[in-house]
Amino acid sequence: MRITLLTNEYPPHVYGGAGVHVEYLTRELAALDDHRHQIDVRCFGDQYERHGNLSVTGIAAPPALGARDPRHAKFFDTAQRNLAMAAAAVDLDIVHCHTWYAHLAGCLVKQLAGVPLVLTTHSLEPHRPWKAEQLGTAYQASTWVERTAYQNADGVVAVSQSMRRDVHDLYGVPFDRIRVIHNGIDLDEYRPTLSPETLEALDIDPAIPYVLFVGRITRQKGIIHLVHALRHLTPGMQVVLCAGAPDTPEIAAEMTEAVERARAATTSRVVWISDMLPKPKVIALYTHAAVFVCPSVYEPFGIINLEAMACETPVVASAVGGIPEVVDDGRTGLLVPIDARSSTDVEPRDPERFARDLATAINTLMADPARRADMAARARDRVEREFSWRSIARKTLDFYDDLAGNGRNSR
C-alpha cells in the first residue's frame, strides 16, 4: 500500500503528542510486512529524508501574506503549506492527516487523487477555546477547516473512547466510521534509566523526592492549576516543572508570576526548567521522579502518562478525556476529577478546589513509598501489555485496508 501522511509536526520539529504519535507510527508502518508498504510523510519544516520505504519531505515556510491581525499569520502560513502538500501528493492509495494543520490538504488530496481520507483525533478545536488567544478570529477558520474535514473523512482514528464520542457529538461522524486505536509507547526507549548526573546538571537535589511535570505551557496542559496547588503540598518534597514553549507571551507572563507566588508561599523547592529537553534527559527525569503529575484540563489521550508509566513512575492525573483509559485509578496512579464549566469550556468550574484536590492526591502518594513502588511496577506492566507501537501500527494498517476496499472514496 502507498500511504501518505500529512502533519505539522515531525522530528526534529516536535512540540506535542501529535508529533510523537506520527514519528513512531510511521516508523512502525514502514517496518510492517517486511517493509512492503511505501510511507510518504509531508510535514511543516526543512526535513528531507529517505530511509528505504520511508520518505519524509518538509514544506518550508512560504512568503508571509499581509494580515490585518498578526494573529492570522499562522493560519495563512498553514493554508499555503497545505496547498503545497496537496500539490505534491501523487501515486498514493490513502491519505492520513494529523491535526487541523493538515486537514485542508487532506480534503484536497481526497478530491484530486480520489483516495480515502483518514483523520486521527489528537484534539478537537471546539474543546480548545483558549486557541483564540493565539489565532484571534482565525480560530473560527481553523474550526471550520476541522469540521469540514471530519464531515468528509472516510475514516477517523480516535485515540480514546472519549474522543470517539466527541467526534460523533461535535461533528456528526457516524460511529461506524470511527475506530478507536490508542496511542503507544516505545518500550525499549522509555524504560527506567538512572542518571544522577542529569539531575545534578539541572540543579535537582537527588536526595529529596520530587514531583514532576513535563509539558508545554498552555491552557490545555493545566500547568497553572498545578502551580496553584504547590502551596498546599506537604513540606519536604521538591517540585520539578519541565515546562517550556508557551503558547503566548501572555500565558508565559502568567506562568512566571504564578511560579514566583508559589515559591513565596511554599517551603517546597521549585525547580523550573524552561528548556524543552532531549528525550534521554526527560527519561531520566521520569525515572528519578517519585510522582508524575498531569493536570490537563483537556487531553484526548495523554501520551505523556504512558512515558512516565513506562519509566515505572506512578501518576497523578486529571480524570479527563482519554486519561482514564491510560491511568488505572488506584493501581497505576490516582485520578483527580474536574468539574468543568461546560462541554466546550473545559476549565474547572472551581479552580481552587481542583488545585487542592491535585495537592491532596500528590500528598497521599508522596507519604506512602510502598504504595508508590507497587504502582510503579503495575504501571510498567500495563504499558507493556497494552500500548506497543507495533500493535497500533498493525491496527492502523488494517483500518486502511478496510477503507481502501469498501468503495467509500467513490461517493
Do 2-184+388-410 and 196-386 fold alike per CATH?
yes
Q: Output the pLDDT for position 245.
A: 87
The DSSP secondary structure of 252-291, one letter per residue, reads HHHHHHHHHHHHHH-SSEEEEE-S---HHHHHHHHHH-SE
Length of the chain: 411
Tell me the CATH number of domain 2-184+388-410, given options 3.30.420.40, 3.40.50.2000, 3.40.50.11810, 3.30.470.30. Answer: 3.40.50.2000
Greatest Cα-to-Cα distance within the chain, rounded to the nearest angstrom? 65
- The domain defined by 196-386 folds into Rossmann fold (3.40.50)
Integer Cα distance of 56 and 13 in angstroms: 13
Q: What confidence tens digit (pLDDT) does each residue in 384-393 have?
A: 998 989 999 9
Burial class (CB in 10 A: 0-12, 13-18, 19+), 200: exposed
What cell was used for 137?
478570529
Is-contact 94 110, C-beta < 8 A? no
Is-contact 214 248, C-beta < 8 A? no
Q: How many CA atoms lie within 13 A of 161 on its CB side?
A: 4
Q: Output the pLDDT for position 406.
A: 52
Integer Cα distance of 352 and 348 in angstroms: 9
Q: Output the pLDDT for position 304.
A: 94
| Stated pTM of the model | 0.81
Q: What are the C-alpha distances in Å from 243 to residues 90, 222, 230, 252?
A: 40, 11, 15, 10
What are the residue boundaries of the structural domains of the chain, listed by start? 2-184+388-410, 196-386
Q: Output the pLDDT for position 139.
A: 93
Q: What confidence tens digit (pLDDT) does each residue in 221-259 have?
A: 999 999 999 999 999 999 999 999 888 899 999 999 999
Q: Which residues of the chain fall short of a pLDDT of 70?
A: 406-411
What cell was used for 175?
460511529
Q: What confidence tens digit (pLDDT) does each residue in 313-336 have?
A: 999 999 999 999 999 999 999 999
Q: Output the pLDDT for position 130.
A: 79
